[in-house]
Structure 1
Amino acid sequence: MIDRVITSGTFSLDGGTWDVDNNVWLVGDAREVVIVDAAHTAGPIAERVGGRSVKAIVCTHAHNDHINAARELAELTGAPIRLHPADQVLWEQVYGPEVTYEPLADGEKLMVGGIALQILHTPGHAPGAVCVHAPDLGAVFSGDTLFKGGPGATGRSFSSFDTIIASIRERLLTLPSETVVHTGHGESTSIGAEAPHLEEWIARGH
């Protein structure tokens, strides 16, 4: 139902470049999947998809390391790219205006393999950042909004610490405590493991 592919490459923003490993999540069943974040290299992701149909390529946000395989994967699979339009400025840094996507909306529900995926707009790390909640699976795919040990980075352009804290408090920490958090980088965690530390993050962030 949930599968992970780890791909490696670089993240570039504000004139800096960093080596990163990204988690690419496949959610679905034996017939169809949704890909959460098309990072770095299309080949290994397409290989893991196998013969299944891809219903959508959902981008949790438009930093280059989360979308740089999206166009190629869309061409390989015929699946639409989905992104919250508030990240248009970041999208255009990678693809310009000529590569298009279908807008994601807060509260939208996607169905794949009988599983409901609900889109939660969680700005802060990026203006159009979203998390993908799969209540049937007791999981949320958090992109770079929430990690094991704290919120995503907010020190670069188009990000805001106060906004990401509000998003986590209002949209994520209200989920059941046993909800597994599948992150954009690194290890998974749970809402229950992260919730007690909110005030520490706020103190540290300010």
Structure 2
Amino acid sequence: MAYTGEVTVGGTPDVHELGDLIITKVAVGPMDNNAYVLRCRATDAQLLIDAANDPGTLLEVIGDDGLTAVATTHRHPDHWQALGEVAAATGARTYAGRLDADGIPVPTDVLVEDGDTIAFGQIRLTARHLVGHTPGSIVLVYDDPHGHPHAFTGDCLFPGGVGNTHNDAAAFTSLLEGVVTRLFDVLPDETWVYPGHGKDTSLGAERPHLEEWRERGW
């Protein structure tokens, strides 16, 4: 079946197969978080984006080939509840944005800055630092050499808008400008967006609404 990105807690993960990379999306509770297991086809090395919850579910998706790394998109607790158990079970190196790492109780092995590369097997992800939802949120971008980019946006970008900035006008402006300059201005419309909750989208689907978001202030 074709990948849809529509997953539910307790349901079947969805698998997006690319030329060099396999992306498995799974929903975990209790806040319907998305977690993504990325697998390098050439080496079988794997990286997990957001060990959000349900460590048993995540370890089942990871399987017997183990885990090279876990990247946490930001410091909010619903995105790292399973991090300690998954890291302990797999020995994976942990990555998080430098400015959010002190809010994550599991030690961060690698502090990530804007433009840094996270590598596993033959796959490279580029980190983009966005300020507003949290001080140190990171978006991870995979530039598929055989197709369009893929962006794992955590809680910074969703279908219909940017992440929650709790009615803080300065935080909203910072997040929106970061999303525009570091994603929309440099990546094509075909860029697939994998958010921290809910359905996937694309930059092309969201681009026409940027001014609407700016005007409404959220």
Q: TM-score range by the shorter chain?
A: 0.7 to 0.9
In the TM superposition, what is the alpha-carbon distance from 1:65 to its structure 2 partner?
Answer: 0.3
**Offset of residue 156 of structure 1:** 7.3
Q: What amino acid is aligned across from residue 121 of structure 1 in structure 2? A: H
Single out whichever of 142-151 and 99-108 deviates more from structure 2. 99-108
User: Match for residue 191 of structure 1?
Assistant: 203
Which residue of 95, 98, 101 corresponds with 1:82?
95
Structure 1 partner of 2:23: 2
Unaligned runs of 5+ in 2: 1-21
Kindly indicate whether the alpha-carbon contact (under 8 Å) linking 1:117 and 1:133 is maintained by their aligned counterparts in 2.
Answer: yes
| Partner Cα separation in structure 2 for residue 199 and residue 160 of structure 1 | 17
1:112 aligns with 120
- Of 151, 158, 162 in structure 2, the residue corresponding to residue 147 of structure 1 is 158
What is the root-mean-square deviation in Å for CA atoms of aligned residues? 1.7
Does structure 1 residue 165 correspond to structure 2 residue 186?
no
Comparing 51-60 with 107-116, greater Cα deviation is found at: 107-116
1:56 aligns with 2:69: yes
| Counterpart contact for 1:27–1:112, Cα < 8 Å | no
Q: How far apart are the structure 2 equivalents of 1:51 and 1:88?
A: 28
Quote the offset at 1:88 in angstroms.
Answer: 3.8
2:10 — aligned with what? none
Distance 1:48 1:128 in 2: 27
The match for 2:34 among 14, 23, 31 is 23
Same amino acid, percent of matched pairs: 37
Q: Distance in 2 between matches of 1:88 and 1:27?
A: 22
- 2:114 counterpart letter in structure 1: D
Displacement, 1:179?
Answer: 0.5
Moved over 2 A (4+): 88-91
Query: Residue type matched to 2:62 in 1?
Result: V
> Is the Cα–Cα contact under 8 Å of residues 87 and 129 in structure 1 kept in the other structure?
yes
Aligned in 2, Cα 1:117/1:76: closer, same or farther, shift over 3 Å?
A: same
Q: Secondary structure at the match of 2:74?
A: coil
Whichever structure has more helix as a proportion of its residues is 1
Deviation string, structure 1 residues 102-139 (Cα, Å, up to 9, x no partner): 21121111222422111111121111100000011621
The TM-score normalised by the length of structure 1 is 0.86
Aligned amino acid, residue 202 of structure 2: S
**Deviation (angstroms), 1:85:** 2.1
Structure-2-length-normalised TM-score: 0.82
Structure 1: gaps (5+ residues): 10-19
Partner Cα separation in structure 1 for residue 120 and residue 167 of structure 2 = 34
**Deviation of the 1:89 alpha carbon:** 4.8
